[in-house]
């Protein structure tokens, strides 16, 4: 209720602002003509006019962007109100599950749009606009995958989507592939503070709370410990060795989970689309709070391959780090949902689309391990960029792509395009011979084959040959170090130089 009241207050402020400053039809038309969706842009900006006050020109691109975002917030609030009102019309558990997701996702959308009003860089704005659009796509997808009517995704949401896309186009930085370049420090991105590096590397963490199955800690479950985090400074949760059968949602900022090691501290769940959940809500561990860090933990989803989408980890945490963790599942194991993420020395197991989502993510120095799929087809990635100006993608860098064995008669691919502008790059990685010579697989016919961006750069191993790769317009064998460097940890999610000892033949600043 408090969140809804705060949103209402914000909308009232925006309405008052609009009453003071209005714009002429001609200038609105001129500015909106530069966007992908000029018609809704003109309609909603013109609606902000008033004839009782003196017009104030839209003086700059930043002013125009602010007006677009304000209009998107107003429409998002209306869409959320409409979605909430549809709740009593849910006729079964599947409709209710998809509807519940949408109500939560509208909160995310409004929050991320509001963040763009803070003092932040154009790169941050692009990240949060990208995340807001991803949340809208996720709302619609929930209804589709459960096979129910998308009555929770009203026309209002389409207007929000178009206004956000217009904002992404207007805000697009001159160099849309990269981020501002802070340097690396001790092998971690610079957002990992020195004290946190010690926690990440320490064998005996100094935790705020301890979780233990045997009662030797303050809590017996991870969820109880997470509930104690209030979202201020860094809150460290040490989870002792044991198997914790629970679904954990982390909404507070700056939470750190530290375990006793892969295969020792295990969080496990079994929700799935086959079991009536949406993909979004199937996650064993779901992280929304920014600045999350995990170390030395295994996260599993044991629903099994026959239950379709079943997420182990869903991460929508901006500037999050996952270090020496294992993610185990079958279809849709690791949901890199949104924002900026970094995975280092992790193990990722799955069968179909088992690294998927629409974050800006680099997975580095990790083991990506394919399991035997029931339908005899493996797809490692399914990246979900739905707008050409989103600064998102999956970068697999210096990893080992291997199989768990037993793949007789199986066809395996590096990825397929979940959305129209899907973007995935595999660089300086070892690719096992189980990968098909074509390398990549269609999603559905010719969908996205001309608009995707799939690249491979200096990979090795029996499956690395690009001689017989797909000939799609969007696929490329990257030969330029400058192009490949756009997808490194330094350039793509944190800026700056390469991680130490990766062996990639580039220098800082490329």
Q: How far apart are the first and last CA of the chain?
A: 48
**Rounded CA gap, 459 and 435, in Å?**
13
Catalytic residue among 353, 365, 372, 387: 353
Per the annotation, the verdict on 353 as an active-site residue is yes
**Rounded CA gap, 87 and 294, in Å?**
35
Question: Which of 494, 294, 296, 282 is CA-nearest to residue 395?
Answer: 494
Q: Which helix (H) or strand (E) holds 164?
A: helix 155-171
**3-state SS, one letter per residue, for 76-133:** HHHHHHHHHHCHHHCCCHHHHHHHHHHHHHHHHHHHHHHHCCCCCCHHHHHHHHHHHH
Q: Tokens 């909430």: give the residue.
A: 84
**Rounded CA gap, 225 and 248, in Å?**
10
C-beta neighbour count of 500 within 10 angstroms: 10
**Rounded CA gap, 25 and 38, in Å?**
13
**Rounded CA gap, 477 and 456, in Å?**
5
Question: Which of 133, 162, 46 is CA-nearest to residue 384?
Answer: 133
Please state at what angle helix 122-145 crosses helix 93-115, rounded to 10 degrees: 170
> What's the chain's length in residues?
510
Give Cα 85 to chain centroid, integer Å: 28
**Rounded CA gap, 417 and 262, in Å?**
31
Catalytic residues: 353
């Amino acid at each position: 209720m408090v969140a809804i009241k705060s949103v209402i207050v914000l909308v009232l402020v925006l309405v008052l602002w609009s009453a003071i400053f209005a714009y002429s039809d001609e200038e609105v038309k001129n500015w909106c003509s530069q966007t992908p969706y000029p018609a809704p842009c003109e309609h909603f900006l013109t609606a902000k006019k008033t004839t009782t006050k003196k017009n104030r020109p839209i003086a700059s691109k930043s002013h125009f962007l602010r007006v677009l975002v304000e209009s998107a917030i107003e429409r998002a609030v209306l869409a959320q109100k409409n979605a909430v009102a549809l709740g009593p019309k849910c006729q079964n558990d599947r409709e209710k599950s998809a509807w519940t997701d949408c109500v939560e996702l509208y909160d995310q959308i409004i929050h991320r749009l509001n963040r763009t009003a803070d003092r932040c860089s154009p790169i941050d704005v692009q990240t949060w606009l990208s995340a807001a659009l991803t949340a809208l796509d996720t709302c619609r997808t929930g209804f589709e995958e459960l096979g129910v009517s998308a009555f929770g995704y009203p026309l209002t949401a389409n207007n929000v989507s178009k206004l956000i896309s217009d904002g992404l186009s207007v805000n697009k930085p001159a160099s849309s592939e990269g981020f501002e370049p802070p340097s690396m420090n001790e092998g971690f991105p610079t957002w990992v503070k020195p004290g946190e590096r010690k926690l990440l590397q320490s064998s005996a963490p100094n935790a705020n709370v301890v979780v233990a199955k045997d009662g030797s800690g303050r809590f017996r479950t991870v969820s109880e410990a997470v509930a104690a985090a209030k979202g201020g400074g860094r809150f460290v949760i040490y989870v002792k060795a044991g198997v914790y059968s629970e679904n954990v949602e982390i909404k507070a900022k700056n939470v750190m989970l530290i375990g006793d090691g892969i295969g020792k501290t295990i969080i496990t769940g079994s929700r799935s689309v086959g079991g009536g959940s949406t993909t979004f809500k199937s996650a064993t561990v779901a992280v929304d709070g920014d600045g999350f860090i995990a170390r030395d933990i295994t996260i599993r989803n044991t629903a099994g391959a026959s239950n379709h989408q079943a997420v182990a980890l869903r991460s929508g945490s901006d500037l999050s780090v996952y270090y020496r963790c294992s993610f185990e599942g079958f279809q849709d194991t690791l949901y890199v949902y949104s924002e900026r993420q970094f995975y280092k020395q992790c193990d990722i197991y799955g069968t179909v689309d088992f690294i998927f989502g629409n974050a800006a993510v680099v997975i580095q120095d990790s083991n990506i391990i394919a399991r035997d799929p029931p339908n005899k087809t493996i797809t490692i990635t399914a990246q979900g960029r739905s707008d050409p100006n989103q600064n998102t993608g999956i970068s697999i860098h210096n990893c080992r792509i291997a199989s768990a064995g037993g793949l007789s008669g199986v066809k395996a691919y590096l990825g397929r395009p979940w959305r129209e502008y899907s973007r995935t790059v595999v660089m300086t990685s070892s690719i096992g011979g189980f990968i098909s010579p074509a390398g990549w697989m269609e999603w559905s016919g010719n969908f996205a084959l001309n608009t995707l961006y799939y690249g491979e750069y200096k990979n090795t191993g029996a499956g690395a040959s690009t001689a017989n790769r797909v000939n799609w317009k969007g696929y490329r064998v990257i030969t330029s170090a400058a192009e490949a460097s756009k997808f490194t940890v330094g350039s793509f999610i944190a800026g700056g130089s390469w991680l130490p000892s990766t062996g990639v033949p580039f220098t800082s600043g490329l």
